[in-house]
């Protein structure tokens, strides 16, 4: 019973983090519009508030599938991250990469292949969630001939067995 409650708390915390990040993005947009009108910014602090209860546990990612863990890490942060940052966070949360020698390269390849969920930020080693960049996702779907549907999207089995041949650079050529 307590494990079920713990999982519910974690899910709600992740949802709250995402909502706080969205509020921060809206505040940044309002401040940018104020600046464009030569007015002072309306919000002094735009960064989401993080509390100690949102700290990561050392076993938070232990035994979980790669794509689920990366999604959770990105949602916790609320913006694109470099592969090395994602990997460090995953390690702190107990994710087992196995052979450390090729772990970062393998993570980069996995993120690049799972184009339904992750997108590489053009000109960088950073990845974000496709859902954060709806215009690019729409352009990508129109290029591939796919229509918007509830079935297009995130699942771990797709991440683990992606064989569609797309590279992460396909999404960033716009």
Confidence band for 32, pLDDT divided at 50, 70 and 90: confident
| Exposed / middle / buried, residue 145 (Cβ in 10 Å: 0-12, 13-18, 19+) | exposed
Closest by CA to 121, choosing from 66, 83, 68, is: 83
Contact 110, 68 (CB under 8 A): no
Contact 41, 35 (CB under 8 A): yes
Residue-wise pLDDT tens digits, 64-92: 999 999 999 999 888 999 999 999 999 99
Residue-wise pLDDT tens digits, 10-25: 788 778 878 887 888 8
Considering the chain, what percentage of its residues have pLDDT values greater than 90?
37
């Amino acid at each position: 019973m307590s494990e079920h409650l713990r999982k519910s708390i974690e899910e709600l915390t992740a949802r709250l983090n995402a909502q706080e990040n969205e509020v921060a993005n809206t505040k940044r947009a309002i401040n940018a519009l104020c600046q464009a009108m030569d007015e002072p910014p309306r919000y002094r602090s735009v960064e989401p508030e993080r509390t100690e209860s949102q700290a990561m546990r050392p076993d938070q990612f232990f035994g979980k599938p790669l794509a689920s863990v990366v999604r959770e890490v990105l949602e916790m942060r609320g913006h694109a991250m470099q592969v090395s940052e994602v990997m460090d966070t995953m390690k702190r949360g107990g994710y087992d990469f196995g052979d450390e020698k090729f772990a970062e390269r393998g993570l980069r390849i996995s993120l690049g292949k799972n184009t339904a969920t992750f997108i590489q930020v053009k000109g960088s080693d950073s990845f974000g969630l496709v859902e954060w960049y709806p215009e690019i996702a729409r352009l990508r779907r129109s290029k591939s001939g796919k229509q918007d549907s509830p079935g297009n999207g995130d699942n771990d089995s797709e991440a683990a067995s992606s064989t569609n041949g797309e590279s992460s650079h396909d999404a960033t050529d716009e």
